[in-house]
Amino acid sequence: MADVVHEFSTPTRGRDNREYKVRALAEQRGHVWIGWLEFSGRPGDRLRRTGEETSQPSREAVAYWATGLEPIYLEGALERAQ
């Protein structure tokens, strides 16, 4: 089961000029934690998720990784998720 480890306060704008709320999620797999990003648009829109974006030794490390992501990274991640 995935945990939300960070919610970004500023939405990310896609190529379609729509704004997407962004959350970072983490899940333990064996001895590591895997992190990915989730993008939600308007109500009724399909939820978009990236594949694995990081692997870290702990849930807290995934949360820390997420806090360092810049807007340009999030824009690229949204493209990968689509």
Query: What is the model's pLDDT at position 68?
Result: 97
pLDDT of 66 reads 98
Taking only the tens place, the pLDDT of each residue in 4-46 is: 999 999 999 998 899 999 999 999 999 999 999 999 998 888 8
What's the confidence (pLDDT) of residue 45? 86
Q: What is the pLDDT of residue 16?
A: 87
Q: CB-based burial of residue 28 (10 Å sphere; 0-12 exposed, 13-18 middle, 19+ buried)?
A: middle
Tally of domains in the chain: 1
Gap between the Cα atoms of 29 and 16, Å rounded: 34
The model's pLDDT over 44-76, given as tens digits with 9 standing for 90+, comes to: 888 999 999 999 999 999 999 999 999 999 999
- What is the residue range of 38's domain? 3-81
